[in-house]
Each structure stands twice: as structure tokens, then as C-alpha cells.
Structure 1
Amino acid sequence: MLPVTLDRTSSEPLPAQLAGQVRALVVAGTLGTGDRLPSSRALAADLGVSRAVTEQAYDQLTAEGWLEARRGSGTYVTATRTTTTAAAPQVTSRPTRSTSRPTGVTFGLDTGTPFFDPRLEPGWRRAWREVSVATPPRGYDDPRGLLELREALAARLGRTRGLDLHPDEIIVTAGTTDGLRALLPELRPGPVAVEDPGYRAAAETVLTYGREVIDLPAVETVGDLGDAVAAYVTPAHQHPLGRVMPAADRLALLEAARRADAVVIEDDYDSEFRYDVAPVPALARLDRGRVVYLGTAAKSVVPTLRLGWLVAPPDLHELILRRRTITHAGAAWPSQRALLTLLRDGWLDRAVRSARRVYAERAPRVAEAMSPYATLAGPLAGMYSTWLLPEADARRARDAARAAGFEINLLSTYARTSGLTGLVIGFGGVTDAELDRALAALTGALAR
């Protein structure tokens, strides 16, 4: 029997409680790689719960990479702190690619434009009407952000990401890159490791601050960070490959960061948009003293709201807050006030549920169209999917989509030294009919 206890009076669902406690047992080393867990039926009987509870918990932990189901044998632990495989970091130079949209292109199938349900427009307008009648601060606002917003964010992050936060631990930012800009000056001198392929804005921001970028292979376990002072990762949904960082890789990365005395920068940009299981827990849950957590409203609301949040270990938090106080840095008060209303009214929860349903329907349509011609790089989740194919084929398909009025990104534009090629197809910022036209242009070119 596993040493777990479920609290039926808690607001946290029983499957989530069970998954969290098993996860903690693995992290603590109580359960090691190769340990066989009780069957879902036996564990359900021991805990006095329905089998559905244990099955959901096992399914969640299997999706995250903590457990492995072996047909006819049982369920086994696959990750412990001792699992490491060194990946050789490589130094990259400054990217020089243009990101402007070509003439004649009307629609962008990018990775950053979310679906906006028109049925939610009344709530959106109501939020801004409240901003118009609210009294703004007479002077510079709290550099941490509106207290009421930080309280609402703390509650939401606790509910959706498993982070137990005090509102004063949160700093409201003007988005993910603003959070990164706030953090970089407070790190000790040295290079920053960034996933490759990875988020282009993160690599460019690091370079802008005069730091060297070290490329971390995005599909390999990181066992050594070298002389890097920080490692920027997107563990819940690797950008742009879509891979979920396995549990063993998470533990290996944290161990490598401890040996290098480096921080891990977790960009949790779209973790709410999983279709198969519950959102993968935040990496910051495993080590709050080592992980800097960055979140954003860009994917759940709209990118132009320009809001995000940062949670840093105490020493970095104080340094960031001190500099923001001196420089009067902070997110725009009207945007903060609007987001507060969207959270309080339940608008954001409805927006996420609506978008998740749309993405869950569109992702298989993209997969059905692209599967004959390319290989899916990661699981179907979020508002885009990435397809591996030769660069010549990817460019031919991209050019055909442009001719039809659609801009689709090449995977090679996200890569620095990895050499991976293919297409990154977003499906949040278009209608169903537009998506169908874009897919027809892509597959027509690939079929030829």
C-alpha cells in the first residue's frame, strides 16, 4: 500500500490529491525507478475510493512521465533524482531573421494568437467599462502590481498550477519578456541556456542584455549546464516542438541547476490547454528556491493586453522589486484593472474552456491533413502543432500557403544549432473555414 492519505473535505479533487502525493513520493526518493505500484483496483480498495479516482491519477502521472504502464505487468516508476544524461550545450550567435509578414498575406497561423470566442465579447466590454469609472492611482503604482489582482492570481495559480503563493510573492509584469528583462540584470555574470529550438523572443532578450546564449537541445535530458547562470525552459509544452518535459528530465534539470548554482526560468505560457489529461503541474512546484516562474495572459486573453506575472526565489524577488521601485517599472494600470474584472467575473475561466474545446477539435483536423506528409513533433495540445519534414518540402508548403494568403512559420526559424526542420502550424487565430483553406494549400503543395 502506498503511504498516501486523501482528504475528502478538501476542495482539491481526489485524483489530483493522489497524483500529487505519488509525485511527491518519487521526488523525495521514497519511490524509485522500477518500483511497481499497486494496481488501480487494489489501490482504490486500500483507499476506500472508486477505481476511477486511482485510474485518473495514474493516467495523469503517466502523461507527465512519472509512471509507465506495462501491458500485462503493471504500473512502474520511471523517474528519480538520479536519472541524468548530459547534453552538450552549444553557443549560438545573434539571430538575424526577419519576422515581418510578407505582402499579400492576410492570415497568420502563428503560435501566439489565441482563439477569442465572440460570445464572450459582452464580458470583455464590461471589464473595460469598469476601468473607465475606476479611480486610477494618483502616483506611481505598487511595482508588484495591483494587490487585488495579485490576490486573484495567487488563487488562480494555486487552483490551476498547484502553486501555493502569497500575493506578495507575485510581481505583475507587462508579459513574459518583460519578466525576463526584469530578471536578467539581477543574475550573476554569465551565459544563459535557452532551449533549441525555442522561443525566439527569449533568446533575443538574453542577447540584448549582453549575455551569451547557450543552446540546450530541446529533446534531450540536460545533465550539465556548464557555466550557465540560468536555463530558460518551457516544460509544460515545449515551444515550439510541443513536447512535455518528462518527469526524469525535470529532476535532472533541477539537479544540474543545483550543481551549477544556476536558476531555472520556467515559461508556463499555455499549460491550461491540454485536451487529454489535466494540465501538467508547474516545474516550480518541485523547487521554489531554484525556479523562477513566468506566466502570461497572452494565450488565455489576448497578447495585446501585455500582462504577465513573475514568481522568483526570495533573494531575486527583492532585487527585482528594488530595481522596479527605483525605475518606476510596472504593468499598465488599466490593463491590470481589466484583468482583475475578467478574473473576478469568471470570464477568464470561460474563455479558457471555450478555447480548449476549439483547439481539441482543430488539432486532430490538422493532424489528419498533415500526417501523410510529415511527422508530429509532440503530443496534440495547445493552439499549434509542429510537423517535421525536410526543409525544401517545408518551404514549398510555406510558399503555397503564402500564395493563398496565409503565413505559416518554418521550424528552422526557431532553431539555432539543432538543424530540425518542418512547419509550425497555429490554429487559434483563424476561423474553421480559413484553417481548411490553409490546410488545403499546404497539403496540395506537399502532395505535388
Structure 2
Amino acid sequence: MLPVRLDRTRAEPLPAQLAGTVRELVTGGTLTAGDRLPSSRALAADLGVARAVIEQAYDQLLAEAWVETRRGSGTFVASGGALPPAARAAQAHASAHTPAHASAPPTRPRIRPATREPQLIRLDSGTPWIDPRHLAGWRRAWREVSAAVPPRGYPDPRGLPDLREALAERLARTRGIAVQPDEILVTAGSTDGLRQLLGALRPGDVLVEDPGYRAAAESVRSAGRGVVDHPALEPVTGLAGCAAAYVTPAHQHPLGRVMPAADRLALLAAAREADAVVVEDDYDSEFRYDVAPVPALAALDRSRVAYLGTASKSVSPSLRLGWLVAPPEVHERLVRRRTVTHDTPPWPTQRAMLTLLRDGWADKVMRTARRVYADRAPRVAAAMAPHAELAGPLAGMYSTWLTDPASAERARAAGRGAGFDVPILADYCRSARLTGLVLGFGGVTDAELDRALDAIVDGLARR
């Protein structure tokens, strides 16, 4: 029997209480990799609750990769994630022919020339769906900005106090991060937050997932630091020589996997041993369709994790606004620097975001977008599955598909012929040798998505 106590008087739902307790038992060492959990029927009888309560908690833990199921055997504490077959073969080939980390002058990523055809619609992984019916709330926020009185001088170096208060409430409610408003720094997006953070860390290279977010690798180089390539789906067990590790644990960009619980704990242990900071880019974690959002890595160790959030995926990329929660010592260095540099987002942008949060507009937009993505993701999967291999679970506003290089190029050419710019996975790789397509479905209409899929599938089907 698990040492679990559920409290019906608490506001937190019973499945969430149970899932949280299991996480604590794993992180505290009471449960270890390979331990078998009680069956849902047996645990429900022990706790005196409906079996559905246990099943919901187990589903959430399974989605977060804290547990794994073995057919005919039950549910066990996870021992680590597994690569899809195509990814495993490609990563094995890359490991045999490529050093595990960068050395000497780092190589620049292969960046394809920007298209000159303005009519092309880019199926990128970062453009969200904003329901046109919600635009009235957006306009209302900016009307309030025009009527508000701006500060007399430079604003608070941490950001607008009322906005930080609203963000603190939101982080606690949606990401499980207990933080005070004064511990938050408002930034001009996650890339700006990373840039500022890199300037406040001790000397050293930065481990970056490969394939990974291209802007992150470029930001590291621009800060005069070396990029250490690390296979995106392998655990980080050492950070010698690194000042930081940049990761996207809730939804690996661009492969889509949730970082398994064992890998999370290994990463934190490596960071403690090397006195390094883990930079968690939590770019679209709220867009899960099947279970609740995966808890943030920062909730496990605030002293070691720097948390980056953004409004780009929930409100608008053009707003250029985000937030940073850094370890205490790093936070103080950042505040002192920002006091001198005034490196904060424009006051009107912060004031508009405050209104969007207070009015519930941001929550409304995300709920609508989540429903749209939940409908579109299976449609994309149904069209693509006969021709390519899904790299990770369906979540967020894009999915990544593994193919051979020739098929990826044919699909890209077919998409361009139909008026769509289709990103290919190779563009996100540095040392990795993965090929395929990264299909964003947030920044298009349903009709546009259908036309794009028809063209892409036609390209994949050609030989």
C-alpha cells in the first residue's frame, strides 16, 4: 500500500493530490525506478475512492513520464524514456560519427535562406491560433493603455508591479511554481530573458538540446559562450565545464517528448554537482489536450532552475513579452544590472498584458486555442501517419514527423507549390542527423491546414 492520504476538504482535486504525492515519493527516494504501483482497483479500495480517481492520477503521471505501464504487469516507476525506432537509429548513427559536444569554434546551424515569396504561409511551430471572436478584448486592453497614466521616470527594473503580481498568481495556478511577485522579472520574450540570464551567469559553456530551439543556440553564441550539443532525447548526466543547460522539458522543441521523471532528476543532480543553472524554457506547456499541463521543472528545485515563460504562444508573438524566475543569487545580479541598463519591456506592453490577464482574456484565448489544437492534431496525425513516424506525443500547436531526407524535401517542395512554407527537421539540428518535417497548425485556418496537408501528403507519396 502506498503511504498516501487524500483530503476531501482541500480545494485541490483528489487525482491531483494523488499524483502530487507519488511525485514526492519518487523525488524523496521512497519509490525508486522499477517499483510497481498498486493496481487502480486495489488502491481505490485502500483509499476509499472511486477507481476513476486513481486512473486519472495514473494517466497524469504517465503523461509526465513519472511512471510507465508494462502490458499485463501493471504500472511502475519509470526508468527512463525510449526513442522512437527511426530516431534511435539516426541518433546511434550520429553518435558513432559525431563528437557528443562541440569543440573549438562551434559550427553554425544550417539556416536556409528566407523565402522571398510573401504569399507563402509558414507552418511554423510558434504561431498560435487566436480566435477572431476574441479580438474585441485585445482592442479593449489597448484602449485602457491609452487612458492610463505612464510612470514619470524609468519603470521598476523588475517590471510593472501589478503585472508581476498577476503573473505570480498565474504561475502558482497553472505551473505549480510558488513564487513572490518580487522574484519575477518581466522580459521582452523568452529569448530576451535567456540573453539577460546568460549575462549574469559565471563563465562557461551552455549545453543545448540537439535538435533544439535555434534562437537559444544563437543567443548562447552571441553571448560569447560555447554551445555544447546534447542529443535531445538522452539524459544529461554531466555538466562539467558548463555554466548552464538549456532544456524544454515539458514539450521538447522540436521533437515533442516530455522529459521523463528519471531524466529530470538526473539533470538536476548534474547541475548541482557542476554548480550549473538549468534553464527551463516553458514555451507551450499549457497546451495539453489529454491531461493537465505537465508540472514545471522549476517546481522541483527553485534554487537550481531558471524558469522562462512567454506570452508568444498564448497571446501573440508580436507582443514580445515574457517572464523570468531565476535562482536567488542570479536574480539579484539581474536586478542590479537592469537598474543600470533599464532593460525592461516597454511600459505600454506590460500594461496591456496586465489587462489581458485581469480580464481573463488570456485564459479564454488559451481555452479556445486548446480546443482547436485538440481537433487539428489528430487530423494532422491521420494524414501523416501512413507516410512518416511521429517523433513525440501529440501536444501543443505543432507535431514533428520523421522521414528520410528525400521525402522531407519532396514534401517541402509540394508545400511550397501549394503556397506553404514547410519547416524541415534538419534545420533544427546541429550535430544530430535527424530528418523529417515540423508541422505547425496554429497559425492557419482549417481550410488552409487541409490544403497544406493535401499537398504535403502528395509530396510524401511520390517516389
Question: Conserved in 2, the CA contact under 8 Å of 1:222 and 1:256?
Answer: yes
Tell me how far 1:438 sits from its aligned partner.
0.8
Counterpart amino acid of residue 126 in structure 1: R
**1:43, 1:292 → 2: CA distance?**
36
1:84 corresponds to: none
Question: Conserved in 2, the CA contact under 8 Å of 1:226 and 1:260?
Answer: yes
1:140 corresponds to: 154
User: Taking structure 1 as reference, are residues 99 and 134 closer, same or farther at Cα in structure 2, changes over 3 Å only?
Assistant: farther
**2:438, 2:68 → 1: CA distance?**
29
1:152 corresponds to: 166
1:432 corresponds to: 446
2:192 corresponds to: 178
Identity %: 70
Q: Which moved more, 1:132-141 or 1:45-54?
A: 45-54
SS at match of 1:409: coil
Counterpart amino acid of residue 14 in structure 1: L
Deviation track 1:286-309 (CA, whole Å, cap 9, x = no partner) reads 111111000000000100111100
2:337 corresponds to: 323
Tell me how far 1:249 sits from its aligned partner.
0.9
Any residues of structure 2 matched to 1:46-65 within 5 Å, and which? Answer: 46-65=46-65
1:386 corresponds to: 400
**1:370, 1:446 → 2: CA distance?**
9
The one of 89, 98, 118 equivalent to 2:100 is: 89
Aligned residues: 442
SS at match of 2:344: coil
Any residues of structure 2 matched to 1:181-196 within 5 Å, and which? Answer: 181-196=195-210
The one of 226, 240, 256 equivalent to 1:242 is: 256
**2:405, 2:353 → 1: CA distance?**
41
Question: Conserved in 2, the CA contact under 8 Å of 1:26 and 1:79?
Answer: no
Any residues of structure 2 matched to 1:340-351 within 5 Å, and which? Answer: 340-351=354-365
Question: Conserved in 1, the CA contact under 8 Å of 2:108 and 2:430?
Answer: no
Question: Conserved in 2, the CA contact under 8 Å of 1:105 and 1:402?
Answer: no
1:78 corresponds to: 78
Any residues of structure 2 matched to 1:98-109 within 5 Å, and which? Answer: 98=112, 100-103=114-117, 105-109=119-123
1:221 corresponds to: 235
Q: Which moved more, 1:369-378 or 1:47-56?
A: 47-56
The one of 265, 276, 281 equivalent to 1:262 is: 276
With normalisation by structure 2, the TM-score equals: 0.93
1:336 corresponds to: 350
- Structure 2 unaligned residues grouped into runs of 5+: 81-94
Tell me how far 1:98 sits from its aligned partner.
4.1
1:32 corresponds to: 32
Counterpart amino acid of residue 34 in structure 2: G
Q: Does 1:417 align with 2:431?
A: yes
Question: Conserved in 2, the CA contact under 8 Å of 1:89 and 1:215?
Answer: yes
The one of 297, 300, 303 equivalent to 2:314 is: 300
Q: Does 1:364 align with 2:385?
A: no
Deviation track 1:57-110 (CA, whole Å, cap 9, x = no partner) reads 111111111112233332221249xxxxxx973214123524523325431110
The one of 174, 187, 198 equivalent to 2:212 is: 198
Tell me how far 1:413 sits from its aligned partner.
0.5
1:253 corresponds to: 267
Q: Which runs of 4+ in 1 moved over 3 A?
A: none
Question: Conserved in 1, the CA contact under 8 Å of 2:404 and 2:435?
Answer: yes
SS at match of 2:242: coil
Q: Which moved more, 1:306-315 or 1:103-112?
A: 103-112
**2:339, 2:2 → 1: CA distance?**
49
**1:136, 1:11 → 2: CA distance?**
39
**2:6, 2:357 → 1: CA distance?**
29
**1:117, 1:15 → 2: CA distance?**
31
The one of 380, 397, 413 equivalent to 1:399 is: 413
**1:79, 1:139 → 2: CA distance?**
54
**1:54, 1:362 → 2: CA distance?**
29
